Structure 1
Amino acid sequence: MPTDVEPQGAWLSRAELDDVRGRVPMLYVVAVPVRVDGTGEVNSVGLLLRASDTGHMERELVAGRVMYHERIRDALVRHLEKDLGPMALPAVPSSPQPLTVAEFFPTPGVTPFHDPRQHAVAMVYVVPVTGDCAPQRDALDLAWLTPEEAADPDHLADMSGGHGVLLRQALAHLGCAV
């Protein structure tokens, strides 16, 4: 459906974003990138490595805000390409359905999901990718792990803000032993 609204022109400045973050929940998408075999079985899960604001190395899932007047599907593709590269080739269905919805709070302990910057609501999706992937922008590494490796407590411990919880939920959703 064509539209006259250009999402890029609706982006907020840093000051505007900080003001809005303090007043209303922000909408996010989280993607668990996976590689599947010919029968649709997941054989690997992609985890990004980033340096946190405090300098700690952390694993995380692909995530980002949904822009004003942007379809969820388009936001997923944009963030997957932003973090995994333009040749990632995500297979997002035409009508994506989230596996779960996570509510992130700036106050720790309200839910397992914490974001000190804001109250955010994130729709979480498992997205197969078939192309060549490489860490982009501020991602330092992209590791493809088997579902068993991804569910290892050491890997989950490297994931902050509740991303480890989301990864466990995604693996359970996929029927992987966790």
Structure 2
Amino acid sequence: MEIAFLLFDDYETLDVYGPAEIFGRLVDFYSPKFYSMEGGIVKNRHGVSVMTESLKTIGNHPFIFLIPGGMGTRKEVDNSLLINKIKEISLNSNFVLTVCTGSALLAKTGLLDGKQATSNKRAFSWASSNGPEVIWDKEARWKVDGKFYTSSGVSAGMDMSLGFLADRHGLEFAKKVATEIEYNWIEDKDYDTFKAK
């Protein structure tokens, strides 16, 4: 099943590669692919570059659509072409996962209106301002509302990804993956130690 990762300039490194490590090692279940609006090489402020395919080539029904955060979201939240494309792909995906301020991009589409969500606690005010009709949770490490999974900052994307695996494949399956990558999984989705003050 395809996992479509959205990339844009100045995406956050771990937002993408943490979940990519978790899902990517499960080759019998998931096939990660990287996309951007126009395709080609996308680079972030850490100097990490990746070759992407254009969102125009994305399949009609990706199983998972993952939207990372990063400083690039501050610009992309006003990119109506990208926001409309995010909405289109999200509507056609089985699940939509956001990491960090990626929830601001999803919120801008209106698809999170009336739904519970969270975001990076250090950028919570800004992220939540992009979705005034969203039920924002300042306490959660990650939230699940229907097919939408939203997580807090940076490393929380890994916790959410493991939580997603637990929901789909069982808790022991997710714990095994966490052990294989030697990661101390924060299993409590309802409490973020980095919560907003």
Indicate whether the TM-score tops 0.5.
no
Using the size of structure 1 for normalisation, the TM-score is: 0.26
Q: Which has the higher strand share?
A: 1
Q: Which has the higher helix share?
A: 2
**Which structure has the larger Rg over C-alpha atoms?**
1
Using the size of structure 2 for normalisation, the TM-score is: 0.24
Which one has more relative contact order, counting CA pairs under 8 Å at least 6 apart? 1
